[in-house]
Amino acid sequence: MCLYGLRPVAEIQFADFVYPAFDQIVNELAKYRYRSGGQFGCPVVVRMPSGGGVKGGHCHSQSPESYFVHTAGLKVVMPSNPYDAKGLLLAALRDEDPVIFFEPKSIYRTEKIEVPASDFTVRLGKAATVREGSDVTVIAYGAMVPLALRAADTASKDGIGLEVIDLRTLLPLDIDHLAASIAKTSRAVILHEAPRTCGYGAELMAQIVENCFWDLDAPLARVTGFDTPFPYALEDEYMPNEQRLLKSIRQTLQA
Amino acid sequence: MSAETPSPSSAHLLEIYRTIVQTRLFEARVIALNRHGKISLYASSEGEEAGAVACASALAAGDWLFPDYRSTGALFARGVSMSAFLSQLMGTGNDSSKGRQMPTHIASKELRIASVSTPVGNGIVHATGLAWAAKLRKGPEAALVLFGDGATSSDGFHAGMNIAGVHRLPVVFICRNNQYAISLPLAMQTASKTLAAKAEAYGFPGIQVDGSDPIAVYEATAQALARARSGEGPTLIETAAYRLGGHTTSDDAKRYRTDEPGNAWRKRDGLENLRLHLESLGLWDTEQDNTLRDEIGKEIDRCVTRALEEPSPPVSSLFDDVYAEMPRHLQEQRKDVLP
Ligand SMILES: Cc1ncc(C[n+]2csc(CCOP(=O)(O)OP(=O)(O)O)c2C)c(N)n1
């Protein structure tokens, strides 16, 4: 369809069902521009609801973003609120390259803010500081952003200032934005739902170490889903929660 | 074939013949270049040239060709020059795809040739998508895709055929049944009586054509394209042939099959069939044939000499075209390879 000049939008019912299309996304969509020497672009947006918290069991709860972040040629986006969802989606639709657009389904109905009816975009590749603070940087995206904000409210009662960063785009990563925050706080905790091993947090840690090592006063920490299949009955234990995040933040502050 | 089947004109037949001869001579040279280490790999279409040339020569200029890695005759029929293809095969800086893909994986926006997909069967989905776009936009274009017998076992075959049938899309599926998928013979590929029969389940016609009869392949394709354009939907054409060579230059077919079937198939050579036909019509003779082969041979010499002198793509191009605009992290990584 792109060869014909259209800009298709594919909707995967749940991200857990994207795997049959993995070959088409990774070998074809992502590589078509490169392998044709720039003759053909593939401006496709692949939307997919992702993440847990909806009692969906192992095939309606996964967070497979790392598979796509590992793929040259793709852009990977995950909004955390309705305003960004609209702005990022419009930006994705107008982008010349394929965009994997994750929609954290657990916050489809819980995050309520005003969204202008007008045409506006949120630039791809730009993170946002959604709460300023000077003690610890919390790096989150998607449904983990509201969780980080709740934790920031709780922490502030103990006099701890969390700076919460919403990545919004995972690929390409806005490392400058992270570096600026860490230069201020010297400490960071990474938060994501996906399993830990080779999760996006691993890449964040690597890039932070490469770029900000001398600014750090404490080891970087991760609060993530576990390296198990996504469970059904024990979903709440699997998902990162405020207690786990606050515990990690305290450890980071004590280090 | 029905009475209104468009038959190729004499001039068109001669053009098809010349292109088949060119394909045969070109491939022989490419295989020699492979043996000399100048081309890393090649998938010979020996025995299938006639079918490939004939089907692609039925396309209109605005149509789209989705070739696979064994489609050389179709590429030449579509207008790819031997020079351009040699640049691709050698991965030189002159390649229209900037040397990004392994040999035979060409792409040409100018000639409406999609980028060859390596994963077997994927091109079927892309051709279907193009046809779907053309139908949505009410365009006159049709898509033609080539794939092997092995590709009928792929998910792409099912997905593409199914959607093409559902939406009656203007796409022609050419299944080059050359009896083998690397070492796997057809009998191990499917329990279906024919590959053409598979179309039945998707709700559109599937036909078998002798792949060594270029006139039959041309007529079947022209009719399928006419069907496609008139909104009647897709057609699956199974062209019966035999892969005379190895799977690629890296394969030794003697390890899994005997020579006998190949020797029998050699006797039904599409090139010879057409030459005899043209001679019987008084359109061709031995002298013309010798002249043609001589001319093509010299042209191949010239093209090879030129291609061997072409430079590699510049190192700086390694990071181009990953995205429309180069992101920061690639700009950074690029510094590692630039002096
Ligand atoms: C999905 C996938 N699996 C395996 C391969 C390796 N492979 C390349 S060609 C080929 C055989 C294809 O056979 P067929 O479709 O009959 O075409 P032919 O090579 O005989 O022309 C295989 C298995 C591939 N390219 N893609």
Mean pLDDT of B213-230: 97
Is B174 among the domain residues?
Answer: yes
Please report residues of B whose CB lies closer than 8 A to that of A125.
327
Q: Which CATH number fits domain A128-254: 3.30.930.10, 3.30.43.10, 2.40.10.10, 3.40.50.920?
A: 3.40.50.920
What pLDDT does B141 receive? 98
Sign of CA dihedral A231, A233, A235, A237: negative
Q: How far is CA A81 from CA A104, A115, A163, A166, in A?
A: 9, 10, 18, 10
Please report residues of A whose CB lies closer than 8 A to that of B95.
37
Domain count, chain B: 1
The DSSP code for B101 is: S
Please report residues of A whose CB lies closer than 8 A to that of B96.
36-37, 39
Sheet (strand A188-195) strand order: A128-131, A162-166, A136-140, A188-195, A221-225
**Residues A162 and A129: beta-carbon distance below 8 Å:** no
Q: Distance between CA A128 and CA A178 in Å, rounded? A: 9
CB pair distance less than 8 Å for B100 and A32: no
Token digits of residue A111? 């995050």
Q: Distance between CA B147 and CA A106 in Å, rounded? A: 43
**What average pLDDT does chain B have?**
96
Alpha helices in chain B (DSSP H): 10-35, 49-56, 72-78, 82-90, 122-136, 155-166, 186-189, 198-202, 214-229, 260-266, 270-280, 286-309, 328-334
For residue B5, pLDDT beyond 70: no
Residues paired with residue A100 on neighbouring β-strands, in sequence order = A46, A76
Give the SS3 label for residue A224: strand
Q: Which of B155, B79, B171 is nearest to B117 (CA)?
A: B155
What pLDDT does B197 receive? 98
Token digits of residue B269? 């050579």
3-state helix, strand, coil in chain A (%, to 5): 40, 20, 40
Please report residues of B whose CB lies closer than 8 A to that of A40.
107, 109, 114-115
CB distance B183 to ligand 1 below 6 Å: no
Token digits of residue B273? 């069939």
Q: Which of A61, A113, A75 is nearest to A229 (CA)?
A: A61
Ordered by start, the domain boundaries in chain A are: 2-107, 128-254
Nearest to B327 among A32, A39, A125 (CB): A125
What pLDDT does B320 receive? 97
For residue B4, pLDDT beyond 70: no
B268, with CB counted inside 10 A (0-12, 13-18, 19+), is: middle
Mutate to test the pocket of ligand 1, among B66, B117, B120 (most ligand atoms within 8 A of CB): B120
For residue B135, pLDDT beyond 60: yes
Mean pLDDT of B62-89: 98
Mean pLDDT of B200-224: 98
Among chain A, residues having any CB pair with chain B shorter than 8 Å are 1, 3-6, 8, 20, 23-24, 27-28, 32-41, 72-73, 75, 95-97, 125, 172-173, 175-176
What pLDDT does B77 receive? 98
Q: Does B114 touch chain A (CB under 8 A)?
A: yes
Task: Find the CATH number of the domain harbouring B133.
Answer: 3.40.50.970
Is B247 a catalytic site residue? yes
pTM value surpassing 0.90 = yes
**Residues B243 and B205: beta-carbon distance below 8 Å:** no
Contacts of B320 (CB under 8 A, 6+ apart): A38, B98, B326
Is B143 among the domain residues?
Answer: yes
Q: What is the pLDDT of residues B120-134, one digit of tens each?
A: 999 999 999 999 999
Predicted-complex ipTM score: 0.94
Query: Domain limits at B300?
Result: 10-337
- What is the pLDDT confidence band of residue B302, given thresholds at 50, 70 and 90? very high
Domain A2-107 has CATH 3.40.50.970: yes
| Nearest atom in ligand 1 to A23's CA | 1
Q: How far is the CA of B69 from the centre of ligand 1 (A)?
A: 9
Residues paired with residue A237 on neighbouring β-strands, in sequence order = none
What pLDDT does B3 receive? 42
Nearest to A35 among B100, B109, B125 (CB): B100
Is B5 among the domain residues?
Answer: no
Is B198 among the domain residues?
Answer: yes
CB pair distance less than 8 Å for A36 and B125: no
For residue B1, pLDDT beyond 60: no
Q: What is the pLDDT of residues A146-155, one digit of tens each?
A: 999 999 999 9
Which phi and psi (to 5°) does residue B197 adopt? -60, -25
What pLDDT does A48 receive? 98
Name which residue sits closest to atom 20 of ligand 1, judged by CA.
B181
CB pair distance less than 8 Å for A37 and B107: yes
Q: How far is CA B159 from CA A142, B32, B154, B162, B169, in A?
A: 32, 39, 9, 5, 13
Question: Of A58, A60, A70, A177, which residue is the catalytic one?
Answer: A60
What pLDDT does B6 receive? 75
Is B283 among the domain residues?
Answer: yes
Q: What is the pLDDT of residues A45-79, one digit of tens each?
A: 999 999 999 999 999 999 999 999 999 999 999 99
What pLDDT does B7 receive? 86
Q: What is the pLDDT of residues B253-296, one digit of tens each?
A: 999 999 999 999 999 999 999 999 999 999 999 999 999 999 99
Q: Distance between CA B43 and CA A51 in Å, rounded? A: 44
Q: Which of B170, B118, B108, B113 is nearest to B147 (CA)?
A: B118
CB pair distance less than 8 Å for B118 and A41: no
Question: Of B24, B70, B176, B243, which residue is the catalytic one?
Answer: B243
Under-50 pLDDT residues of chain A? none
What pLDDT does A131 receive? 98
> For residue A220, how many C-alpha atoms fall within 13 Å in the half-sphere facing its CB?
23
